[in-house]
């Protein structure tokens, strides 16, 4: 809920547009022309700053946040554009690691919306601009107004046809590639890689974890070879945590910026050594392995919020959480999943650690899979579960089951669910 009246009015206008984050995505458009026309009409705001463009199935938000935090610590004016948000829309646009204020976002969004209305009257391509196009354009206007020198720009979905792909990312990052959004991006990792590597442009450097002999890595290498772009590979150890891998990727980006001659205010070239404990703390995002303790009948119950929604990421989250002694035991999970997710694979991973699951449905998430359907799938896997469509009731039931079993509680599967339940537990 926003407090600024101008932003509330702008969001009401924005919400009248097509929002593919909330709709079945198999009908998504197949071109960048609306975003390109919108940017042109706004005076090409994406050219007001230099950019690192970040794509990947998982980790792109944390990598982007690490890059922004390091740039800010170096004394540069830094920004970050991310999606989706967990609680408030202002989370999507940050300056020096802080959410943009509502009045600033309202001005930029109103400007973009006015130009969109002009395009509708003129019947140009921008008349087909979407919710995400307008918000992306507004973010770029904010960066220009704030004098941002470098921005970490996170891809919304895919890469080649994503609204953010009007930027020229001097460094392009592909964190990893898993099977997600297959109805849009393709049924194999190779096809998904083709879409994600669409952010790479001639003259840019590519940073990735994908090996050249990997199915997706071969596609990425072929595209880089065609463009004459160098590929920098990060090779984390098999036992590396999610954070360690993200830090390695962000560090490789900073090393490349330093080699390009980008320096901090002290004149020293940027580099991986800038990502110290303080930088990591500044880059920590809500809803990513975020822990609180709640009172459950006199028992302090650990609750972890994480928006993991693909099997390989959930497996990594559970592995990393198990390093904490009180999270090494079984958990109870409160779960919501969108209809386009690999529910069977997700539950197979969850079954390895969860003694019970409560399935629910975040309010307003029209792409969500019914809780009852998920419960039937869980039963076929031999996983104990309950269906409770109301997220607040599901959370309370999860707390009860976790307290009874001396377990801990995991809220996962959807950042929308995480956002809703974080708000309700903030006063505990």
- Residue 69, classified by CB atoms within 10 Å of its CB into exposed (0-12), middle (13-18) or buried (19+), is buried
- In the DSSP assignment, the letter for residue 38 is H
CA distance 424 to 428: 8
What is the structure's pLDDT at 215? 94
Residue 133's Cα: distance from chain center in Å? 16
Helices (H) and strands (E) in the chain, counts: 15, 14
CB contact at 8 A, 61 and 155 = no
29: confidence class by pLDDT, cuts 50, 70, 90:
low
Residue 318's Cα: distance from chain center in Å? 19
Of the given ranges (256-265, 318-327, 338-347), which has the lowest mean pLDDT? 338-347
298: confidence class by pLDDT, cuts 50, 70, 90:
confident
pTM above 0.75, yes or no: yes
Query: Domain spanning 5-282: which CATH class is it, in words?
Result: alpha beta
Residue 412's Cα: distance from chain center in Å? 14
What is the structure's pLDDT at 237? 87
What is the percent of the chain where pLDDT is above 70?
A: 93
Mean pLDDT of 257-267: 96
| Tokens, residue 323 | 């390093």
CA distance 171 to 276: 21
- Does 298 or 56 have the greater pLDDT score? 56
C-alpha distance from residue 284 to each of 98, 287, 327 (Å): 12, 9, 20
Dihedral of alpha carbons 89, 94, 99, 105, sign: negative
| Tokens, residue 102 | 């509502």
- Does 232 or 85 have the greater pLDDT score? 232
- Does 31 or 360 have the greater pLDDT score? 360
Pairing of strands 78-81, 93-95: antiparallel
339: confidence class by pLDDT, cuts 50, 70, 90:
confident
CB contact at 8 A, 133 and 38 = yes
What is the structure's pLDDT at 28? 53
Reported as a single tens digit per residue, the pLDDT across 382-402 is 999 999 999 999 999 999 999
> Domain limits of the chain?
5-282, 290-425
| Tokens, residue 80 | 């970050």
What is the structure's pLDDT at 66? 98
The phi, psi pair for 38, rounded to 5°, reads -60, -45
Reported as a single tens digit per residue, the pLDDT across 174-230 is 999 986 654 556 579 999 999 999 999 999 999 999 999 999 999 999 999 999 999
Evaluate if residue 30 carries a pLDDT over 90. Answer: no
| Tokens, residue 174 | 């592909």
Reported as a single tens digit per residue, the pLDDT across 359-370 is 999 876 557 899
CA distance 168 to 166: 7
- Does 66 or 87 have the greater pLDDT score? 66
- Residue 197, classified by CB atoms within 10 Å of its CB into exposed (0-12), middle (13-18) or buried (19+), is buried
Of the given ranges (171-175, 296-300, 411-415), which has the lowest mean pLDDT? 296-300
248: confidence class by pLDDT, cuts 50, 70, 90:
very high
CB contact at 8 A, 32 and 216 = no
What is the structure's pLDDT at 411? 97
Residue whose C-alpha is closest to residue 194's, from 220, 214, 173, 172 = 220
Of the given ranges (71-80, 295-304, 392-401), which has the lowest mean pLDDT? 295-304
Of the given ranges (286-290, 302-306, 356-360, 385-389), which has the lowest mean pLDDT? 286-290
Mean pLDDT for the chain overall: 92
426: confidence class by pLDDT, cuts 50, 70, 90:
low
Sheet holding 290-296, edge to edge: 290-296, 299-305, 408-412, 331-335, 354-359, 385-387
Degrees, nearest 5: CA angle 82-85-90: 80
CATH number for region 290-425 = 3.90.190.20
CA distance 159 to 177: 12
C-alpha distance from residue 355 to each of 54, 306, 410, 412 (Å): 36, 18, 11, 15
Q: Over the Cα atoms of the chain, what is R_g?
A: 21
Residues 6+ apart with CB under 8 A from 159: 55, 165, 195, 196, 197, 198, 199
Pairing of strands 98-99, 93-95: antiparallel
């Amino acid at each position: 809920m926003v407090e600024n009246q101008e932003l509330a009015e702008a969001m009401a206008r924005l919400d009248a547009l097509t929002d593919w984050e909330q709709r079945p995505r198999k009908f998504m458009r197949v071109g960048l022309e609306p975003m390109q026309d919108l940017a042109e009409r706004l005076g090409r705001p994406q050219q007001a700053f230099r950019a690192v463009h970040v794509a990947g199935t998982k980790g792109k938000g944390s990598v982007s946040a690490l890059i922004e935090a390091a740039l800010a610590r170096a004394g540069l004016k830094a920004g970050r554009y991310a999606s989706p948000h967990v609680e408030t829309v202002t989370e999507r646009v940050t300056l020096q690691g802080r959410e943009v204020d509502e009045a600033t976002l309202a001005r930029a969004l109103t400007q973009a919306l006015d130009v969109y209305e002009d395009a509708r009257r003129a019947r140009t391509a921008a008349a087909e601009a979407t919710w995400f196009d307008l918000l992306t354009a507004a973010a770029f206007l904010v960066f220009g107004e704030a004098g941002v020198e470098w921005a970490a720009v996170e891809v919304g979905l895919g890469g080649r046809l994503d609204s953010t792909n009007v930027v020229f990312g001097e460094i392009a990052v592909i964190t990893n590639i898993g099977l997600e959004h297959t109805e849009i991006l393709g049924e194999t990792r190779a096809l998904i890689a083709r879409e994600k590597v669409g952010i790479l442009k001639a003259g840019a450097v590519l940073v990735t974890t994908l090996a050249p002999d990997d199915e997706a890595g071969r596609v990425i290498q072929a595209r880089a070879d065609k463009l004459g772009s160098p590929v920098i590979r990060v090779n984390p150890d098999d036992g590396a945590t999610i954070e360690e891998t993200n830090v390695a990727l962000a560090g490789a980006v900073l090393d490349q910026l330093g080699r390009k001659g980008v320096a901090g205010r002290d004149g020293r070239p940027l580099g991986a050594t800038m990502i110290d404990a303080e930088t990591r703390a500044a880059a920590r995002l809500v809803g990513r392995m975020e822990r609180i303790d709640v009172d459950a009948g006199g028992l302090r119950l650990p609750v972890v919020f994480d928006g993991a929604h693909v099997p390989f990421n959930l497996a990594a989250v559970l592995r990393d959480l198990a390093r904490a002694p009180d999270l090494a035991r079984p958990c109870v999970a409160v779960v919501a999943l969108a209809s386009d997710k690999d529910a069977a694979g997700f539950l197979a991973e969850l079954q390895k650690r969860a003694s019970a699951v409560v399935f629910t449905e975040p309010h307003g998430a029209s792409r969500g899979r019914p809780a009852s359907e998920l419960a039937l799938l869980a039963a076929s896997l031999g996983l104990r579960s309950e269906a409770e469509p109301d997220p607040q009731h599901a959370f309370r039931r999860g707390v009860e089951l976790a307290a009874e079993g001396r377990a801990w509680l995991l809220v996962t599967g959807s950042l929308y669910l995480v956002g809703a339940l974080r708000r309700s537990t903030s006063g505990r």
